[in-house]
Each structure stands twice: as structure tokens, then as C-alpha cells.
Amino acid sequence: MKYLFIALALMTTIHTMSQEIALPQPQKSGGMSLMEALANRQSTREFNPDSNLSLQQLADLFWAACGYNREDKLTIPTAMNRQEISVYAIMPDGAYQYDAKNNKLVMVTDADLRTLAGMQEYSHKAFLNIAIVSDREKMPHDIFAGTDAGAVMQNIYLWCAANGVGTVTRGSFDGETLGKALKLGEKQQIILVQSVGY
Ligand SMILES: Cc1cc2nc3c(=O)[nH]c(=O)nc-3n(C[C@H](O)[C@H](O)[C@H](O)COP(=O)(O)O)c2cc1C
């Protein structure tokens, strides 16, 4: 009986740890014009801890941030087409890596890492914090690692502006602690963390 309980507990853990969120197809038409989104773009630093984003919003946002808009190319340009950027969604029920090819979020931990997402308290209240991560093995040049991450940052800003969602990008976070919690590899570096929510 004891072994049955252990086996069941293990199976539950494995199931939870391998949880994936299949995203709906991103909506790529309609919406606010680019010029209006640019006119609305701004940083906001107040978030309601009880609000959230729908799966459709997550699908649209992550596709805008750095999804594939052609067979093998992204919504962001990357220097030498290294495609070294990955993004992680830090949400109340866990942290996930965005799998752009398969349009899904893959859980890396079921812990709520929002308190590690930034030094400023408002970031702990946002429903979503997006860690913009560079693989420095693929992209050793500091400037290009920064510019490529910046393209993701601006796509997130513009999507938020076009959809009435608040956001602010941040350089203030403890990269080492958050990187460990996100189980990043040695060569992966968090460049920015961006809070998103209402
Ligand atoms: C690379 C970068 C790092 C930033 N880091 C922070 C930060 O750590 N905390 C913060 O509150 N805002 C941060 N910001 C947001 C800026 O403060 C903000 O963009 C600026 O005040 C202009 O305001 P606006 O975005 O509303 O135009 C950062 C912006 C950039 C581009």
C-alpha cells in the first residue's frame, strides 16, 4: 500500500511538472492600427493582483513578442538570424517557456515565482511577468543580445498598447536567483523582465 501511495505521488508530480498549456491560434488580423498603438505606448506600474489574461490574449501576446511569422523566421529581427531569444511566462500557477514552433507554454516549475520577478513590488502583483532570455552561446555579442531582446520588449509594449493592457519592462531583477528558479542553462542570460497585466 505504501508503495502505491509513493507511486501515485510520483505520477502526480511528474504530470504536474510536465504540464503544457496548448494555446489557441493567434489572431493576426484586425485590432488597433500601428500608429494608434504607438500613440498609446507607455509604461504602467500599477497592477490589480486579482486580474488575469485569457488564453487567447496569451497566444496573441507571445506570438507578437517572438512567434514565427514565416516558416522559420520570427516577428522580431535577430542579428545574423541567430534566433537566440526565448521568453518565459511567470504566472501565479507556475512558470512556463513559450514554445513558438508548437504554439504552447511548457511548464518549467509549478511554483509562483512572481516575487522573484523584480525588485519593485508592483511586479509581484502583475498577472504575468515575461523574462526575455538570451542564449549567450548563440549570441556572444553584448550589443546584439541587448538589441534583439529590445525588439521583443517593444513588440510586447505595442501589443499591450493596442489591447489596453498595462506593461513595463524592467532591468531591476536578481538575474541569478530568477535564472536558477527558471532552471536556465549556464549560458542563458535574462536581459529584461516585463510585467504585464491590468
Ligand atoms: C532597458 C530598460 C530598462 C528599464 N528598467 C526599468 C526598471 O527596472 N523599473 C522600471 O520601473 N522601469 C524600467 N524601465 C522603464 C522606463 O523607466 C520607462 O520606459 C521610461 O520611464 C519612459 O516611460 P514610458 O515607457 O512610459 O515612455 C526600463 C526601460 C528600459 C528600456
Q: What is the pLDDT of residues 141-191, one digit of tens each?
A: 999 999 999 999 999 999 999 999 999 999 999 999 999 999 999 999 999
Count: domains in the chain? 1
Among 45, 55, 22, which residue's Cα sits nearest to residue 119? 45
Q: Whose CA is nearest to atom 20 of ligand 1?
A: 43
pLDDT digits (tens, 9 = 90+) for 52-95: 999 999 999 999 999 999 999 999 999 999 999 999 999 999 99
Which atom number of ligand 1 is nearest to the Cα of residue 43? 26
Alpha-carbon distances of 156 from 3, 36, 42, 167, rounded to whole Å? 48, 15, 11, 8
Query: Quick one: pLDDT at residue 198?
Result: 98
Query: Quick one: pLDDT at residue 15?
Result: 43
Residue 4 clears pLDDT 80, i.e. is over it:
no
pLDDT digits (tens, 9 = 90+) for 14-55: 444 459 999 999 999 999 999 999 999 999 999 999 999 999
Q: In testing the pocket of ligand 1, which one of 168, 191, 194, 195 has its CB within 8 Å of the most ligand atoms?
A: 168
Among 88, 86, 68, 55, which residue's Cα sits nearest to residue 28? 68
> Cα of 194 to ligand 1 centre, how many Å?
10
> Cα of 158 to ligand 1 centre, how many Å?
14
Alpha-carbon distances of 124 from 109, 179, 180, rounded to whole Å? 17, 17, 18
Q: How much of the chain exceeds pLDDT 70, in percent?
A: 91
Query: Quick one: pLDDT at residue 18?
Result: 54
Structural domain including 78 reads 2-22+31-197
Query: Quick one: pLDDT at residue 94?
Result: 97
Residues with CB under 6 Å of ligand 1 are 42-43, 45, 120, 168-172
User: Where are any strands of DSSP class E within 13-74?
Assistant: 20-22
> Cα of 169 to ligand 1 centre, how many Å?
6
> Cα of 171 to ligand 1 centre, how many Å?
8
CATH value at residue 12: 3.40.109.10
Query: Quick one: pLDDT at residue 144?
Result: 98
Q: Which helix (H) or strand (E) holds 166?
A: strand 166-170
d(CA 84, CA 58): 21
Q: In testing the pocket of ligand 1, which one of 42, 43, 155, 192 has its CB within 8 Å of the most ligand atoms?
A: 43
Contact predicate 103/22, CB 8 Å: yes
Please state the pTM of the whole predicted model: 0.92
